């Protein structure tokens, strides 16, 4: 997101300094400091602790072709 903001800045202003940042982005990005509210940082920390990509419960997994649930359409 930050890179895109700098790219837009170059496009709209022609800034030489922003162009220099983009030209050496891999090293320049290391000098930036991320600033955020403590509460948001805590939410992000909790989110990374809980892996949201874990497997769904067995009841939520699709049925195999031969294991179709029998029922009535009435």
Between 56 and 3, whose confidence is greater?
A: 3
Q: Which residue has the higher pLDDT, 66 or 36?
A: 36
Q: What is the pLDDT of residue 42?
A: 86
pLDDT digits (tens, 9 = 90+) for 20-59: 999 999 999 999 898 989 998 888 887 666 566 666 667 7
| Cβ neighbours around 6 below 10 Å, total | 19
Contact 5, 17 (CB under 8 A): no
Torsion of CA 11, 14, 15, 16, to 10 degrees: 120
d(CA 36, CA 18) in angstroms, rounded, equals: 23
Report field, pTM of the whole predicted structure over 0.75: no
């Amino acid at each position: 997101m930050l890179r895109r903001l700098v790219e837009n800045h170059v496009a709209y202003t022609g800034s030489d300094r922003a162009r220099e940042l983009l030209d050496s982005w891999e090293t320049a990005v290391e000098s930036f400091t991320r600033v955020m509210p403590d509460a948001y940082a805590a939410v992000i920390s909790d989110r990374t602790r809980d892996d949201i990509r874990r497997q769904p419960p067995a009841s939520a997994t699709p049925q195999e072709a031969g294991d179709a649930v029998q029922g009535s359409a009435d």
